[in-house]
Amino acid sequence: GNSVTQMEGPVTLSEEAFLTINCTYTATGYPSLFWYVQYPGEGLQLLLKATKADDKGSNKGFEATYRKETTSFHLEKGSVQVSDSAVYFCALNTGTASKLTFGTGTRLQVTL
């Protein structure tokens, strides 16, 4: 079956630090990959996506590259801000009603 593994949190960084959140997956077929972000008290919002190998998704300074050879989709940002504090979820789908499989989430806290 499909599965997504994310690095454990919480991750605590100072403002302007470099961020990496690791995500690896196992899947049958050719999945589409997503990063979602959840701010406190809210639902999940799409941050970025990639639908095929070597695609790079980007949004709001965040980037992730679909690496088929390493089955990874690591999230990066060059300079984090306090406003980036949230929980980040890696997810995949492989068709069949487009059911998403989520990782367990990584909480990011950015301090001044």
Partner 1 sequence: NAGVTQTPKFQVLKTGQSMTLQCAQDMNHNSMYWYRQDPGMGLRLIYYSASEGTTDKGEVPNGYNVSRLNKREFSLRLESAAPSQTSVYFCASMTDFNQPQHFGDGTRLSIL
**Which residues contact partner 1 by CB under 8 A?**
4, 32, 34, 36, 41-46, 49, 51, 89, 93, 95, 97-100, 102-105
Q: Which is nearer to partner 1, 70 or 96 (CB)?
A: 96
Q: Which is nearer to partner 1, 13 or 100 (CB)?
A: 100
Q: Which is nearer to partner 1, 51 or 83 (CB)?
A: 51
What are the beta bridge partners of residue 108? 11, 86
Query: What are the backbone dihedrals phi and psi of residue 105, each rounded to the nearest 5 degrees, phi first?
Result: 90, 145
